[in-house]
Structure 1
Amino acid sequence: MKWLLEEKAIACSLAAILLLLGLVNLVSSKNTTELVENANQVQSTYNVLGTLTDFYAAMSVAESGRRGYIFSGREEELSRHQTAVEEMEVELSELQQYAVLNGVQQQRLQQLEQLTRQRMVLFEQSIELYQRDRSLEAMQTQHAITDRSVQIREQIQSLLTEIKNTENQQLQDSLKQARQNIQYRSTIERAGILLIVVVACGVVWVFYWGQRRRQQFQELEKTLAQEQELSNLKLRLFSMISHEFRTPLSVILVSSQLLTEILEFKIEPSQLKNLYRIQNSAKLMNRLITDLLTLTRAEAGKLEHQPEWLDIEEFCLNLLDDFQSSHAVQHDLQFTSQGEFGRVYLDEKLLYSIMSNLLLNAIKYSPSGTQVTLKIEGDPEQIIFEVEDQGIGIPEEEKANIFNPFYRGQNVEGISGSGLGLAVVSKCVEIQKGRIEVNSHVGEGTRFRVYIPRIDKDAIPLGIPTGSVD
């Protein structure tokens, strides 16, 4: 099944839209995964920071409880110290479970745990010493333990600061990456939507253009059908007119010829001129009808092309004899041939229309007594017919219009004519795929050369009619 152009465009556009949607979905899915990973990392970083803060707070409470218990001996302070120590243990365990910590952070965490264990040992030693001995020497030992605990606390604070700074930097990096991913996804989605809108607009435009083209094609088909119908009507009209006119014209011509034959020995020749006028007018009217019908058939594509074997030289000689006898020609008609012809495969009716019109124009537009030459040349490819006169010639600026129907030159005033002869010649030459050359100068004469290609009868495929040309 052959697809129309707009159908192909719509199919390609839908495929492009689906492809764009797939790409946008793929990019969005990948971007969403990255956003989820960044969010998890941010959440873990927040948890680490929170745990570190809780750990430091618990360590401070444990130190405060120890000192309170040693100075006051209250059991509440000891209980507070023990609870804070347990919280520190819990916070350390939670820190060990965070996979987000890198190698450097893990090392720092191990150092933190070691220092914390050392400080817890000092806490226990201080409490046991207080419970066992409260002498002055014991108090000095307590001060030494406290000094050592403060040193370890400062190291722990330094480690906590380093861990927090690193985690904060990672948090900022994760947030920055998340923002970039969001912007990237937003850009991709906007670009995808824009491309889809552009493709959709293109589909709409192609569909609209296809509809407009289809409408124009339908209007053109309608116009062509109307013109064809008008051409057929015109052809039928001229065929009817031709039939209706030719019958009385034939009666007029035959009757005048019979009268001429009967009366030519009974009256003076000068008295027969009216009969000759009737015959010439009837012939002129018949030729006009024939030319009109030929042009109408050519315009309707109904002009027949029926080539047959023809003796060209005999055809030309008979044509000149016919002109010499039937048109009362007062010119010197000459015929020459060059090359070998024999019998050629041409359409005699079309050739007669060509040569008779060219000869008639040459005689009509040439002064009486001048020479009109018909020359034929033959070669293996084509036949060349040449008609040359010594008449009024054709102005240079009018040569482009002489083959238009009803066109007559500005220098033919006083010479009767219809302007159809050369139009008929052009159509008959065209239907035989030939060409015409014109060489003319005002006051010096005109020469027409008609080139008609030879037809190889054996090259015509069987079953293909040659009776008409569309």
Structure 2
Amino acid sequence: MQQSMSTYGPIERIKAKLPPRLLRIYQRYSLGGKRVTVGYAVALMLLGGLGLISHLNTSQLRQSARQVNQTQIAVQNLNDLLLALSEADYSRRGYYLYSDTTELETYQTDVAPIKSLLGQLHQSLGPFPDQLEQLEQLEPLVAEYLTLSEQAIAQFQQTQAPLTVQDPVIIQIRQKQRQVRQQIIALRTVIEQTLQSQVERAQTELQSRLLIETLGAALTLLIFAGIYLLLYRQKRRREFAEMQRRIMAHAKGLSEMKLQFFSMISHEFRTPLSLILGSAQLLEQTLRPQLEPTKLKHLHRIQSSVKMMTQLLTDVLTIARADAGELECDPVLVEMQTFCLNLIEDFQAVAEGKRTIRFAQRGSATHAKIDERLVYSILSNLLSNALKYSPAESTVYFTLICEPAAVSFEVQDKGIGISLADQALLYEPFKRGTNAATISGTGLGLALVKKCLDLHQGEIAIESEVGVGTTVTVTIPQAEL
């Protein structure tokens, strides 16, 4: 079990780290490989089936050919039997008329192969019971005919008187001769009909088998063509995946360079900004009783500008880390009401224009798993925007909805609002609403919110109307964390 998990785990971890586009390519490639395997299996099965059908067709054709050949031999034997009987009858009558022993010898020569012909007929009609039964009816008739012929010859040799048509033996010979001829003709007709049906059936079977083989070959060809197309598509996908990998590697390198650059800039700027902020705060504390309100206002502007620059550096560095994939999400269990109240306290300490934040809590849960640093950045940006774009002495409503399945934060203000055209660009860095040009800001707030929220696999929804206000709802699922 441990061995299977150690083999399975790294593959799943690698797949989990793949970007969605590369993951889809990987899944298509895997599915394509399965399709190729199935296609080869089906093609081999079809080829095996075609080989078996061809073997059966060959065997059946050979059997049909043997049956047709036997039937043809039977027809030929019947014709030879009829000819032998006719020639024997002709020789026998010549012997009566001319008393020529040569005719008797000829008769005996003509009669000799009759028994052999009947035996050959037995052999050739063996697979056909109906014809064999008719042959068995023919054999005693032929034997009786030959017996009567021998009696007639013996009578002629004793009396040396020519036999006439009125002689009883001649009458019997003629009757048997007619019966034999009728039986032979009937048997030959049946055999010829059997031969015709065999030929027709063989032709029909041959056509159907050829059709089956043709369809099977065409289907196999189509399957191999499909396999070729699948292999070609897999090749193209591999090439595309390789190109995407190179592009992503290049983009990752650029992101790392950008992160290094912003880290260096942030480090270099924070030191002088900290000195400026500390000096301004020290001047305010020591010279407050002596300074005029106008000069004190200038010190406040210096402090506000330094804080804005520091926040700008922090936001830019955070976005750069997110783009480089180095911004990590480490969720821990947090008591949400205390977390939100501490955040509100931080904002109320620096709020300007007597703007207030009204907090409310709903839900059946008290704790949630979140990354405090990232969620603090999300909510601070949302509250900062709500306070910044709201009128003086207005109220911003901040609602916490904590449920076992998800934790949601809703920030509602009565500020300037966001137009529909601007809402489509809200999550792009440095993009601001067209009606916010007179209010200071960087345009990084919502872009940073989206980056941090994606790491939580959360969602954001914005409802806004120009001149009425904006409601932003952020939802972080708990089951997936």
What is the TM-score when the length of structure 2 is the normalising length? 0.77
Question: Where do residues 355-374 of structure 1 align in structure 2 (5 Å cutoff)?
Answer: 355-368=379-392, 370-373=393-396
Distance of 2:328 and 2:413 partners within structure 1? 30
Partner in structure 2 of residue 33 of structure 1: 59
Alpha carbons 2:390, 2:415 under 8 Å: kept: yes
Which string of whole-angstrom CA distances, capped at 9 and with x for unpartnered residues, describes residues 340-363 of structure 1? 999998655445534543454344
Distance of 2:123 and 2:375 partners within structure 1? 109
2:126 to 81, 97, 100: 100
Q: Letter of the aligned partner of 1:176 in structure 2?
A: E
2:36 to 10, 31, 55: 10
Partner in structure 2 of residue 229 of structure 1: 253
Alpha carbons 1:69, 1:77 under 8 Å: kept: yes
Q: Letter of the aligned partner of 2:436 in structure 1?
A: V
1:204 to 228, 233, 243: 228
In terms of mean alpha carbon deviation, does 217-226 or 380-389 score higher?
Answer: 380-389
Partner in structure 2 of residue 467 of structure 1: none
Q: Letter of the aligned partner of 2:87 in structure 1?
A: V
Distance of 1:15 and 1:195 partners within structure 2? 13
Q: Letter of the aligned partner of 2:354 in structure 1?
A: H
Partner in structure 1 of residue 377 of structure 2: 353
1:175 to 199, 202, 207: 199
1:415 to 439, 443, 460: 439
Q: Letter of the aligned partner of 1:22 in structure 2?
A: G
Distance of 2:147 and 2:432 partners within structure 1? 132
Which string of whole-angstrom CA distances, capped at 9 and with x for unpartnered residues, describes residues 307-355 of structure 1? 587844762464145415xxxx332546656689999986554455345
Partner in structure 2 of residue 281 of structure 1: 305
Distance of 2:85 and 2:279 partners within structure 1? 146
SS in 1 for 2:439: coil
Alpha carbons 1:6, 1:206 under 8 Å: kept: yes
2:354 to 312, 316, 331: 331
Question: Where do residues 181-192 of structure 1 align in structure 2 (5 Å cutoff)?
Answer: 181-192=205-216
SS in 1 for 2:432: coil
Distance of 2:66 and 2:366 partners within structure 1? 103
Distance of 1:255 and 1:122 partners within structure 2? 153
SS in 2 for 1:411: helix
Distance of 2:360 and 2:310 partners within structure 1? 30
Query: Aligned-pair distance for 1:449?
Result: 5.9
Distance of 2:89 and 2:333 partners within structure 1? 131
Alpha carbons 2:96, 2:163 under 8 Å: kept: no
In structure 2, runs of 5+ residues without a counterpart are: 1-6, 9-28
Partner in structure 2 of residue 22 of structure 1: 48
Distance of 2:474 and 2:152 partners within structure 1? 135
Number of aligned residue pairs: give it: 449
Partner in structure 1 of residue 90 of structure 2: 64
SS in 1 for 2:416: coil
2:262 to 222, 238, 244: 238
Alpha carbons 1:312, 1:342 under 8 Å: kept: no
Query: Aligned-pair distance for 1:251?
Result: 2.3
Q: Does 1:82 align with 2:76?
A: no
In structure 1, runs of 5+ residues without a counterpart are: 461-470
Partner in structure 1 of residue 324 of structure 2: 300
Alpha carbons 2:425, 2:431 under 8 Å: kept: yes
Query: Aligned-pair distance for 1:274?
Result: 4.4
Distance of 1:343 and 1:46 partners within structure 2? 99
1:158 to 157, 182, 185: 182
Q: Relative to structure 1, is the Cα distance of residues 295 and 162 closer, same or farther in structure 2, using a 3 angstrom cutoff?
A: same
Query: Aligned-pair distance for 1:243?
Result: 0.9
The percentage of counterpart residues that share the same residue type is 36
What is the TM-score when the length of structure 1 is the normalising length? 0.79
Distance of 1:384 and 1:181 partners within structure 2? 75
Query: Aligned-pair distance for 1:161?
Result: 1.1
Partner in structure 2 of residue 465 of structure 1: none
Distance of 1:116 and 1:417 partners within structure 2? 126
Q: Relative to structure 1, is the Cα distance of residues 233 and 139 closer, same or farther in structure 2, using a 3 angstrom cutoff?
A: same
Distance of 1:92 and 1:345 partners within structure 2? 104
Alpha carbons 2:383, 2:411 under 8 Å: kept: yes
In terms of mean alpha carbon deviation, does 339-348 or 315-324 score higher?
Answer: 339-348
Query: Aligned-pair distance for 1:365?
Result: 3.0
Q: Relative to structure 1, is the Cα distance of residues 356 and 12 closer, same or farther in structure 2, using a 3 angstrom cutoff?
A: closer
Distance of 1:383 and 1:127 partners within structure 2? 127
Partner in structure 2 of residue 468 of structure 1: none
Q: Relative to structure 1, is the Cα distance of residues 249 and 74 closer, same or farther in structure 2, using a 3 angstrom cutoff?
A: same
Which string of whole-angstrom CA distances, capped at 9 and with x for unpartnered residues, describes residues 389-440 of structure 1? 5543444654454444322222223222222233334444554566656565
Which string of whole-angstrom CA distances, capped at 9 and with x for unpartnered residues, describes residues 84-137 of structure 1? 122334333433444437555445434544343344344334444444434xxx
Q: Letter of the aligned partner of 1:14 in structure 2?
A: Y
Alpha carbons 2:125, 2:131 under 8 Å: kept: no
Q: CA RMSD in A?
A: 3.9
In terms of mean alpha carbon deviation, does 48-57 or 95-104 score higher?
Answer: 95-104
1:220 to 208, 226, 244: 244
Q: Letter of the aligned partner of 1:254 in structure 2?
A: G
Q: Relative to structure 1, is the Cα distance of residues 146 and 4 closer, same or farther in structure 2, using a 3 angstrom cutoff?
A: same
In terms of mean alpha carbon deviation, does 231-240 or 438-447 score higher?
Answer: 438-447
Q: Relative to structure 1, is the Cα distance of residues 309 and 193 closer, same or farther in structure 2, using a 3 angstrom cutoff?
A: closer
Q: Letter of the aligned partner of 1:83 in structure 2?
A: T
Query: Aligned-pair distance for 1:301?
Result: 3.4
Distance of 2:108 and 2:407 partners within structure 1? 129
Query: Aligned-pair distance for 1:160?
Result: 1.6
Distance of 2:171 and 2:366 partners within structure 1? 140
Distance of 2:131 and 2:344 partners within structure 1? 120
Q: Letter of the aligned partner of 1:281 in structure 2?
A: S
Partner in structure 2 of residue 45 of structure 1: 71
In terms of mean alpha carbon deviation, does 377-386 or 117-126 score higher?
Answer: 377-386
Query: Aligned-pair distance for 1:208?
Result: 2.0
